[in-house]
Amino acid sequence: MLDPAAARDAAAALVDKALKLGADAADAAYVGERSSGVGVRLGALEDVQRSEGEEMGLRVFVGRRNALVGASNLADLDTLAERAIAMAREAPEDPYAGLAPRDLLFTGEPAELDLDDRGDPDMASLRERALAVEAAARAVDGVTNSSGGSASASASTFAIATSDGFAGATRATGYSCSASVVAGEGAGMQRDYGWHSARHLADLEPPEAIGRRAGERAVARLNPRAVGQGRMAVLFDPRVATSLLGHLAAAINGASVARKSSFLQDRLGERIFAAGVTVVDDPLRPRGLRSRAFDGEGLPVARRALIEDGVLTGWFADSAAARQLGIQPTGSAIRGSGGGPSAGPSNLFMAAGPRSREDMIAGLDRAILVTELIGQGVNGVTGDYSRGASGLLVERGEIVGAVSGLTIASNLFDMFAGLEPASDLVIRRGIDAPTILVPEMTVA
């Protein structure tokens, strides 16, 4: 894996090769990764992994025609460039293809986002963490078996260069720890998990806390009761509430809007959430899991309120989608080595509301607190929503037991318009949300 300066220079050199061989324009992306991990089960070592690799992707333009090729062998980049140009000459014309506008490219020094702690833990320390997280989960009363504990560490370098003069590179580290356990016996067994990931090892939650949470969640799911069909309030626990932001991000993706395949395509500038609801995308968060100093096309990035006081203020759009929509690209392009740029969120979160989760629950006569969602029953064109769910039953303002085997259904238009975020937002992932209350859904 190359260091950032060498990766940037390698990407720029590949772009120069493509231009010399006949490309009208080009960009190149380098991705280098190193990872190691340890898995244990029932206190015994089960899996040890270590890998390192690098890839280079080259996108070339010949007139309105373009092609993209990638390679993991960086020893013969001349051949890579020749093949890309030959492919582009045979490709169909694309009126929207092209590099990001030259006058919008990022210039100056990139923001210091503190994404790299320069660590590379040895296998012994990873094994110790994996054993600790599983032991803590198994120590919870009621846990009867384990699917295992794991700990991993990684480092990556990303670089991009364009023929219009941009070249930049970043490096980041990552650490994660997880456990999955089973509670109960026989047909009544239930499983759940705990997990955390961070850029710096110092920010990683202690394995004992992760494991204890996994065990407690599994035990809380024991002895689920039946819930009759009807309409009732549904609360989304923070770990599943983020899925609602995922549906929002997909619906405001410029490519979907341009294809007229988004249920929000005609709602720009309109109130789609309740007054007071705010959703922010923040690529410049220090140590953020999805932070970036520039986007995948070399454009500057900035914190944006995508939903402000309930109003939809903008799209995620890379350059191709922006040309289709007649707007400027939004600095939201994401790119790896194996494909062209596509738009998407960075560190996306819904701001906390004024009421606590406890106050919300106390005010509900009958509701479901969803802790797990199953299936992909969401129609991005119509907004229709229907997913399997399990969680906890709320009656007369108190949690009274577990529920499972449910289907919750509504339409995202109605869910977005009526939902209320609680005050328990914790920033810990790439997409974050507090507990979210949807006042009414169909439950069966």
CATH number at residue 118: 3.30.2290.10
Cα–Cα distances (Å) from 172 to 122, 251, 300, in that order, read 18, 29, 19
| pLDDT band, residue 443 (cuts 50/70/90) | very high
> Can you give the pLDDT at residue 139?
98
In a domain, 125, yes or no: yes
As a whole number, mean pLDDT of residues 317-329 equals 97
Find where tokens 């012994």 sit: 124
**Helix, strand, or coil here: 36?**
strand
Residues 230 and 126 in one domain: no
Confidence of residue 77 (pLDDT cuts 50, 70, 90): confident
Q: Answer whether residue 441 shows pLDDT above 90.
A: yes
pLDDT at 107 over 90: yes
Q: How far apart are CA 15 and CA 161, in angstroms?
A: 7
> What's the rounded Cα separation, in Å, for the pair 27 and 294?
15
pLDDT at 418 over 90: yes
Q: Indicate if the pLDDT at residue 366 is higher than 90.
A: yes
How sure is the predictor about 279, in pLDDT bands with cuts at 50, 70 and 90?
very high
pTM for this entry: 0.94
Statement to judge: residues 100 and 239 lie in one domain: no
DSSP element (H, E) containing 35: strand 25-41
Domain end (from 219, 234, 258):
219
Q: Are residues 44 and 76 in the same domain?
A: yes
End of a domain among 182, 204, 219? 219
Closest residue by Cα to residue 36 from 147, 136, 157, 174: 174
Q: Is residue 206 located within the same domain as residue 229?
A: no
Q: Residue 73: its pLDDT value, please?
A: 84
Residue 339 has pLDDT above 90, yes or no: no
77 or 37: which carries more pLDDT confidence?
37
Alpha-carbon span 8 to 350, nearest angstrom:
34
- Asked if 208 and 227 sit in the same domain, the reply is no
DSSP one-letter code for 300: B
pLDDT band at 6 (very low <50, low <70, confident <90, very high): very high
Mean pLDDT of 186-209: 96
Q: Is residue 296 part of a domain?
A: no
With respect to residue 104, please indicate whether it lies within any of the assigned structural domains. yes
Integer distance in angstroms from the first to the last C-alpha of the chain? 51
Residues 34 and 180 in one domain: yes
Helix, strand, coil percentages in the chain from 3-state DSSP, rounded to 5: 25, 40, 40
Domain count, the chain: 2
pLDDT band at residue 228 using 50, 70 and 90 as cut-offs: confident
Quick one: pLDDT at residue 338? 81
Average per-residue pLDDT in the chain?
96
Q: Is the pLDDT reported for residue 427 higher than 90? A: yes
79-98 pLDDT tens trace: 999 999 999 999 999 999 99
Distances (CA, A) of 28 to 22, 117, 177, 291, 382: 15, 27, 33, 20, 37
- State residue 78's pLDDT score: 87
User: Does pLDDT of 75 surpass 90?
Assistant: no
Among 342, 336, 377, which residue's Cα sits nearest to residue 258?
342
Q: What is the pLDDT of residue 336?
A: 87
* β-bridge mates for residue 143, sequence order: 183
Token pair recorded at residue 200 = 């710096």
Asked if 227 and 200 sit in the same domain, the reply is no
The stretches of 139-237 forming alpha helices (DSSP H) are: 207-220
Does 128 share its domain with 230?
A: no
pLDDT at 191: 96
Q: What is the spatial distance between Cα 155 and Cα 148, in angstroms, rounded to a whole number?
A: 24
Residue 164 lies in a domain: yes
Q: What is the DSSP letter of 378?
A: B
| 52 and 76 belong to one structural domain | yes
User: What pLDDT score was predicted for residue 168?
Assistant: 96
Q: Say yes or no to pLDDT of 367 above 90.
A: yes
Q: Is residue 275 part of a domain?
A: no
Phi, psi of 188 (to 5 degrees): -90, 5
Is residue 394, in this structure, part of any structural domain at all?
Answer: yes
Q: Where are the alpha helices (DSSP H) in 278-396?
A: 319-325, 357-362
Paired tokens of 138: 């198994």
Do 226 and 117 lie in a common domain? no
H or E stretch at 227: none
Within-domain flag for 285? no
Residue 280 in any domain: the answer is no
Under the banding of pLDDT at 50, 70 and 90, the label for residue 239 is very high
Query: Residue 230 has which token pair?
Result: 């009807």
Q: Which domain holds residue 431?
A: 222-243+352-443
* The two structure tokens encoding residue 175: 């650490």
pLDDT of residue 39: 98
Domain end position, chosen among 219, 251, 282: 219
Check whether residue 59 and residue 87 sit in a common domain: yes
Same domain? For 163 and 239 the reply is: no
pLDDT tens digits along 119-178: 999 999 999 999 999 999 999 999 999 999 999 999 999 999 999 999 999 999 999 999
Q: What average pLDDT does the segment 403-423 reach?
A: 97
Please, which pLDDT band fits residue 19 given cuts at 50, 70 and 90? very high
Q: How many CB atoms lie within 10 A of CB 351?
A: 17
